[in-house]
């Protein structure tokens, strides 16, 4: 049963056990609330039997005190079993999903956008948290307590029990058949919610461009339409639930009427005693209450499956495999007839072969979309090649755990990612155990020292979300300092100097040159001056290697590389005049 609950509700083993305990607690709490019915039945029997002083004040006083104490204890148990257990599971679920995302290949993120994943980890988990703390255990607990009470009523009088209980399966069926409808509305609502989140995020990220082009109003008009669409979807979801819940709750009310009607007829005919009739009237007055509340929540539970499916999609996604050991013979990066196609069907690399040797700088150049960045990411195993092999020191990267493999790489991407922390800590990410002196040395090597000295608190200055208080060149230099601090045997620079001026670019290249010894350096660049001192050039065009060799050799061949150099030289002479 535990395994079934884990699969059904995307729970951990501890969470599934907690759900079982919460359900039992809710059922016991509902049963405890039936104790006053027993006391009232005893009171009615005493009155009708002419018992005078009844059973004594002590009996009823102790009974009331005992009932109150039991209700308090069971409610306390119910509260702890539902809320505390659920909140622990919710926290563990978010951590589990985040850890899973960390281990997934980048191909997964190519199919998802940020708003969708954020909505799953925050929104879907929050929805599940509310369901498991307020609805699910209460529903199954009410079913459990109702079944036990139903057995007791059947033992007293089968005919009266049927008159009281026939509404329960009918109401459950009415709400149960709404599951497909609820899932439909919930999927539409989730899609509308993601669309709004995408729109808000895009608006915040592009507000500068919107303002500069006077496009704010047009964009906000489109965003308002998305918000209106979400509002409409939420209203439809509520109406869709109400169409089934309201009739089901009305059916439950008929149970009281049928019990009173059948009981009155049997009482008049002498088939039923007055105390037993009173017992059933008291029982049904309490019997339907927990189930009526649960039926209202059953509609919400039906829609929970959509949220569970979204979480399971992440949880069940295949991870990149690989062993934990990595013992390469050197750090040559070799591409051997490599082919790669994105999930969209776009072929990026076709039969690519080249070698980036240790102690050398290998430059990947070529037109945009030629496959340069993709090749670098295949080397670090951000994706896995569809065909051929990529090896590091003779070891196929597919056989190595991605996190273990990345310990051998220092990477600087064109799109820099910084954190809302100090300059010191942003650089220290490259090596968490680095001393302050080592961080400062890496910063100076990356030409960061001058601008850091001008910051209000120097290395202890907070730089804002993604380094918002810094210029593009400053952000890129901090990213380079982070990579230099890591001091890994393989360095990947993907347009790492694109945001630097000519003077700083030259200084950065000199700093990199001092670190090249015994390292494999793979540079991706569009500007020819960035790679003019490279040991080897690999020209990629339309996913294939069209030229490879030393810069001087390629210039002598007067091929693609020489043509790119001439074009950039001519473009530098262009002026507005």
Whole-number pLDDT of residue 52: 47
Instruction: Decide if 423 is inside a domain.
Output: no
**The last residue of a domain, from among 315, 350, 377:** 315
Instruction: Decide if 528 is inside a domain.
Output: yes
Instruction: Give the model confidence (pLDDT) of 335-358 as tens digits.
Output: 999 999 886 667 889 999 999 999
More confident call, 533 vs 161: 161
Instruction: Give the model confidence (pLDDT) of 299-334 as tens digits.
Output: 667 777 778 888 888 888 888 878 778 889 999 999
15 and 72, same domain (yes or no): yes
13 and 122, same domain (yes or no): yes
Instruction: Decide if 515 is inside a domain.
Output: no
Whole-number pLDDT of residue 512: 65
In the predicted model, is pLDDT for residue 22 greater than 60?
yes
Ramachandran region of residue 326, left (φ > 0), alpha (ψ -120 to 50) or beta? beta
Whole-number pLDDT of residue 567: 79
In DSSP terms, 339 is beta-bridged to 387
Separation CA 136–CA 150 (nearest Å): 21
* Three-state DSSP state, 454: coil
Q: Are 488 and 409 in contact (CB under 8 A)?
A: yes
* Mean pLDDT, residues 26-39 taken together: 84
Of the ranges 275-279, 525-529, 540-544, which one carries the lowest mean pLDDT score? 525-529
Whole-number pLDDT of residue 31: 86
Q: Are 66 and 72 in contact (CB under 8 A)?
A: no
Whole-number pLDDT of residue 457: 92
280 and 339, same domain (yes or no): no
Cα 139 to Cα 82, 177, 179, 190, 241: the distances in Å are: 12, 16, 15, 24, 16
Write the CB contacts of 402 (distance below 8 Å, at least 6 apart in sequence).
103, 105, 320, 322, 381
**The last residue of a domain, from among 265, 293, 315:** 315
Instruction: Decide if 28 is inside a domain.
Output: yes
378 and 234, same domain (yes or no): no
213 and 358, same domain (yes or no): no
Whole-number pLDDT of residue 157: 87
More confident call, 56 vs 427: 427
216 and 339, same domain (yes or no): no
Q: Which CATH number fits the domain that encloses residue 544?
A: 3.40.50.300
Domain count, the chain: 2
pTM score: 0.67
Whole-number pLDDT of residue 498: 62
Instruction: Decide if 428 is inside a domain.
Output: no
278 and 362, same domain (yes or no): no
Instruction: Give the model confidence (pLDDT) of 68-107 as tens digits.
Output: 898 899 989 988 888 888 888 888 888 888 888 888 877 6
In the predicted model, is pLDDT for residue 123 greater than 80?
yes
In the predicted model, is pLDDT for residue 550 greater than 60?
yes
More confident call, 575 vs 384: 384
Domain holding 42, by residue range, is: 2-315
Q: Are 387 and 547 in contact (CB under 8 A)?
A: no
339 and 263, same domain (yes or no): no
Q: How high does pLDDT run on average in the chain?
A: 84
Nearest CA among 194, 191, 171 for reference residue 299: 171
Instruction: Decide if 499 is inside a domain.
Output: no
In the predicted model, is pLDDT for residue 51 greater than 60?
no
Q: Are 372 and 346 in contact (CB under 8 A)?
A: no
Q: Quote the percentage of the chain above a pLDDT of 70.
A: 92
Instruction: Give the model confidence (pLDDT) of 365-396 as tens digits.
Output: 888 888 888 898 899 998 889 899 999 999 99
More confident call, 109 vs 388: 388
In the predicted model, is pLDDT for residue 502 greater than 80?
no
Of the ranges 17-21, 70-74, 248-252, which one carries the lowest mean pLDDT score? 248-252
In the predicted model, is pLDDT for residue 516 greater than 70?
no
194 and 304, same domain (yes or no): yes
Separation CA 137–CA 562 (nearest Å): 72
HEC assignment per residue over 295-350: HHHHHHHHHHHHHHHHHHHHHCCCCCCCECCCCCCCCCEEEEEEEEECCCCCEEEE
Whole-number pLDDT of residue 504: 64
In the predicted model, is pLDDT for residue 574 greater than 60?
no
* Three-state DSSP state, 179: helix
Instruction: Decide if 466 is inside a domain.
Output: no
DSSP, residue by residue, 7-66? HHHT--HHHHHHHHHHHHHHHHHHHHTTHHHHHHHHHHHHHHTT-SSTT-HHHHHHHHHH
193 and 48, same domain (yes or no): yes
Distance from chain centroid for Cα 154: 48
261 and 174, same domain (yes or no): yes
**The last residue of a domain, from among 256, 291, 315:** 315
Whole-number pLDDT of residue 57: 66
Q: How many CA atoms does the CB half-sphere of 202 hold within 13 Å?
A: 13
More confident call, 505 vs 439: 439
210 and 291, same domain (yes or no): yes
Separation CA 472–CA 389 (nearest Å): 36
Instruction: Give the model confidence (pLDDT) of 92-103 as tens digits.
Output: 888 888 888 888
In DSSP terms, 336 is beta-bridged to 389
Q: Which CATH number fits the domain that encloses residue 15?
A: 1.20.1560.10
In the predicted model, is pLDDT for residue 108 greater than 50?
yes
Instruction: Decide if 413 is inside a domain.
Output: no
């Amino acid at each position: 049963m535990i395994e079934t609950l884990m699969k059904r509700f995307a729970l951990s083993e501890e969470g599934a056990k907690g759900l079982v305990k919460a359900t039992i607690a809710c059922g016991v709490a509902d049963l405890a609330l039936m104790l006053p019915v027993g006391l009232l039945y005893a009171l009615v029997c005493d009155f009708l039997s002419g018992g005078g002083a009844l059973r004594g004040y002590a009996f009823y006083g102790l009974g009331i005190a005992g009932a109150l104490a039991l209700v308090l204890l069971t409610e306390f148990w119910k509260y702890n079993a539902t809320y505390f257990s659920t909140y622990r599971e919710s926290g563990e679920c978010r951590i589990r999903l985040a850890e899973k995302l960390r281990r997934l290949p980048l191909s997964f993120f190519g199919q998802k956008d940020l708003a969708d994943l954020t909505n799953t980890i925050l929104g879907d988990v929050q929805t599940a948290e509310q369901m498991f703390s307020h609805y699910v255990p209460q529903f199954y607990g009410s079913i459990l307590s109702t079944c036990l009470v139903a057995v007791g009523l059947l033992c007293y009088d089968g005919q009266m029990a049927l008159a009281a209980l026939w509404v329960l399966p009918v109401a459950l069926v009415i709400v149960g058949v709404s599951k497909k409808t609820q899932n439909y509305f919930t999927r539409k609502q989730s899609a509308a919610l993601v669309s709004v989140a995408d729109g808000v995020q895009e608006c915040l990220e592009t507000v500068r461009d919107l303002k500069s082009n006077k496009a704010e109003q047009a964009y906000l008009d489109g965003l308002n339409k998305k918000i209106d669409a979400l509002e409409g979807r939420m209203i439809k979801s509520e109406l869709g639930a109400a169409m089934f819940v309201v009739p089901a709750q009305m059916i439950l009310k008929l149970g009281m009427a049928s019990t009173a009607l059948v009981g009155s007829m049997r009482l008049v005919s002498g088939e039923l005693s007055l105390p037993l009739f009173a017992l059933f009237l008291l029982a049904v007055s309490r019997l339907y209450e927990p189930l009526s509340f649960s039926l209202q929540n059953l509609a919400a539970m039906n829609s929970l499956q959509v949220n569970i499916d979204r979480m399971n999609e992440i949880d069940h996604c295949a991870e990149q495999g690989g062993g934990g050991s990595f013992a390469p013979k050197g750090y040559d990066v070799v591409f051997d007839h490599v082919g790669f196609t994105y999930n969209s069907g776009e072929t990026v690399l076709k039969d690519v072969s080249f070698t980036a040797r240790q102690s050398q700088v290998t430059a990947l150049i070529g037109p945009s979309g030629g496959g340069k960045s993709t090749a670098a990411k295949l080397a670090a195993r951000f994706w896995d090649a569809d065909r051929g092999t990529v090896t590091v020191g003779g070891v196929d990267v597919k056989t190595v755990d991605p996190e273990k493999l990345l310990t051998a790489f220092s990477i600087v991407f064109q799109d820099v990612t910084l954190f809302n922390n100090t300059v010191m800590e942003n650089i220290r990410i490259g090596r968490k155990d680095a001393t302050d002196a080592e961080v400062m040395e890496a910063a100076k090597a990356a030409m960061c020292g001058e601008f850091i000295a001008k910051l209000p608190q120097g290395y202890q200055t907070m730089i804002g979300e993604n380094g918002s208080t810094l210029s593009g060149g400053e952000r890129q230099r901090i990213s380079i300092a982070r990579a230099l601090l890591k001091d890994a045997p393989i360095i990947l620079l993907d347009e790492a100097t694109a945001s630097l001026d000519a003077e700083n670019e030259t200084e950065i290249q000199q700093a990199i040159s001092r670190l090249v010894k015994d390292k494999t350096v793979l540079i991706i660049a569009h500007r020819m001056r960035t790679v003019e001192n490279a040991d080897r050039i690999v020209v990629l065009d339309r996913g294939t290697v069209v030229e490879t060799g030393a810069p001087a050799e390629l210039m002598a061949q007067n091929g693609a590389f020489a043509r790119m150099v001439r074009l950039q030289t001519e473009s530098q002479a262009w002026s507005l005049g």
